[in-house]
Amino acid sequence: MKPLRIALVAGEISGDQLGAQLIRELRKRVGAASFVGIAGPGMIAEGCECWARAERLAVMGLFEVLRHLPGLLRLRSQLRQRLLAEPPDVFIGIDAPEFNLGLAQQLRSRGLRTVQYVSPQVWAWRGGRVRTIARAEDLVLCLYPFEQQFYEQAGVRAEFVGHPLADQIPLEPDQQAARRQLALEDRPTIAVLPGSRSGEVARLGDDFAGAVGWLAARRPQLQFVAPMANRDVRADFEATLRLKAPQVAVRIIDGQAQLALAAADVVLVASGTATLEATLSKRPMVVAYRLGRLTGWLLRHFGLMKAPFFSQPNLLAGRAVVPELFQEQVTAESLGSALLAQLDNREGRQALERLFTDIHLRLRRNASARAAEAILNLLPPHATAGQP
């Protein structure tokens, strides 16, 4: 029997992490499968043949993507031609919906099976995309339970698999052990996560660094730890700290975000996957989201944003449990004030910990294994016959 050939396209660090775990689980079930596509270091380490790097898809915003659009369209065209010339048994798009949905639709129209792993936030904004998803995907793998319900109502095949981060992160993070491992003192600690993209740091870095300075001036006993997603982000944020908080010692570390979250009492975080990591780490947080000015204006004035919240903890709780600051609301003082309010509210922090533990348990479902099983169940029996 010919080994399975599986194509994947992952965007950014979080997509690469999901892809690496998925490849590992698929290999357990089908043995000598081959994996090809757009990958990051984690997927490459698991044996995925990299045709382009996942970082090329790390673009956000409606208008911010325009200057990258010609290159992205060329890349998608090249990828489509290559996949049609050597068809895989299944194509899996991991996040990056703006890139993956159009590609999946073209591939599916030519008879290829397609899967979207990580639902686009159609329940939050641009809900009309569900029709595109119905045309593009044989299966959507959902990380959150409410997403499956949304798709079922729209007639799209979907399966809730849980979130891999909920499987990885301990139910009870050890704060003292994390502080020892990061060589931090045992005193009030704020973790600062300004984003995984240079564009995010460009939009949020000044105010995040300003908040560090504002807080240090009022609470000299505070210490700060800032995990950086990559070298470019680190260089950008370090330069901003030198300008905005030159007198404050900030412990900058490469990666190790989950360790930094475990060590922290409160978290200042850019909207995105890191807000879920903070939730699963049971840490109070203040979430900031800032897009380009025109994109933000369109979202606000044309009703493109349907969900009442943009941060993962509030979406999962169904109510406002942590502060969210959007666009012009994001200032050094507003961030600093909100962080102090979280830090000083011991009773509120205990209530959050109980709520976040409940969310953690709901999402802890052995997600990567469930995703692998759902993908293989999509294939005809002969495709996996004789596999281990």
Question: Are residues 81 and 195 both part of a single domain?
Answer: no
Do 191 and 116 share a structural domain?
no
User: Could you tell me which of 214, 254, 251 has the C-alpha nearest to residue 340?
Assistant: 214
**pLDDT greater than 60 at residue 50:** yes
Residue that the structure tokens 């990258």 belong to: 68
| Residues in contact with 81: Cβ distance below 8 Å, sequence separation at least 6, in sequence order | none
Query: What is the DSSP secondary-structure string of 66-121?
Result: GGGHHHHHHHHHHHHHHHHHS--SEEEEES-HHHHHHHHHHHHHTT--EEEES---
Judgement on whether residues 210 and 131 belong to the same structural domain of the protein: no
Residue 58: band (very low, low, confident or very high) from pLDDT cuts 50, 70, 90: low
Q: Tell me the residue range of the domain where 111 lies.
A: 5-162+365-384
pLDDT value at residue 385: 56
Assigned domain for 169 exists:
no
The pLDDT value recorded for residue 281 is 98
pLDDT at 62: 46
Is the residue at 168 inside a domain? no
Per-residue pLDDT tens over the stretch 71-93: 788 999 999 999 999 999 999 99
Q: Mean pLDDT over all residues of the chain?
A: 89
Structure confidence at residue 96 (pLDDT): 87
* Tens-place pLDDT, residues 6-17: 999 998 788 999
**Residue 357, domain member (yes or no):** yes
**Contacts for 139 with CB less than 8 Å, ≥ 6 apart:** 114, 115, 116, 157, 158, 159, 374, 375, 378
Residue 309 pLDDT greater than 80, yes or no: no
Both 350 and 202 in one domain: the answer is: yes
Give the pLDDT confidence score for residue 357 in this predicted structure.
Answer: 98
Same domain? For 334 and 269 the reply is yes
pLDDT per position as a tens digit, 313-360: 998 998 999 999 988 899 999 999 999 999 999 999 999 999 999 999
Clarify whether residues 356 and 371 are in a common domain. no
| Confidence (pLDDT) at 85 | 96
Residues 276 and 371 in one domain: no
Same domain? For 269 and 139 the reply is no
3-state secondary structure of 192: strand
Q: Over 60: is that where the pLDDT of 305 sits? A: no
Which domain CATH number covers 269? 3.40.50.2000
Over residues 120-138, the mean pLDDT reads 76
Q: What is the pLDDT of residue 365?
A: 96
141-197 pLDDT per residue, tens: 999 988 888 888 888 999 999 999 999 999 999 999 999 999 999 999 999 999 988
Given a cut of 50, whether residue 118 has pLDDT beyond it is yes
**Whole-prediction pTM:** 0.83
- Give the whole-angstrom CA distance, residue 293 versus residue 96: 22
In a domain, 267, yes or no: yes
Are residue 273 and residue 326 in the same domain, yes or no? yes
pLDDT higher than 90, residue 239: yes
186 lies in some domain:
yes
Is 358 part of any domain? yes
What does each C-alpha distance from 294 to 124, 299, 327 come to in angstroms? 19, 9, 11
pLDDT higher than threshold 90 for residue 200: no
Q: For 267-286, what is each residue's pLDDT tens digit?
A: 999 988 899 999 999 999 99
Average pLDDT rounded to a whole number, residues 301-306 = 53
Is 291 or 97 the better-scoring residue by pLDDT?
Answer: 97
Q: Determine, yes or no, domain membership for 317.
A: yes
Sorting pLDDT into bands at 50, 70 and 90, what band is 311? confident
In a domain, 167, yes or no: no
Q: How confident is the model at residue 387 (pLDDT cuts 50, 70, 90)?
A: low
* pLDDT confidence of residue 234: 95
Say which residue, 1 or 341, is predicted with more confidence. 341
What are the distances in angstroms from CA 242 to CA 12, 207, 215, 254? Answer: 27, 13, 16, 18
CA 210 from chain centre, in angstroms, equals 25
**Mean pLDDT along residues 206-231:** 96
State yes or no: pLDDT of 300 exceeds 70. no
Q: How many domains does the chain have?
A: 2
Q: Report d(CA 204, CA 196) in Å as an integer.
A: 11
Residues 183 and 91 in one domain: no
Distance CA 240, CA 252 (A): 13
Q: How confident is the model at residue 49 (pLDDT cuts 50, 70, 90)?
A: very high
Percent of the chain scoring above 90 in pLDDT: 70
Q: How far apart are CA 118 and CA 12, in angstroms?
A: 13
pLDDT mean over 42-70: 76
Q: Do 182 and 225 sit in the same domain of this protein?
A: yes
**Same domain, yes or no: 188 and 317:** yes
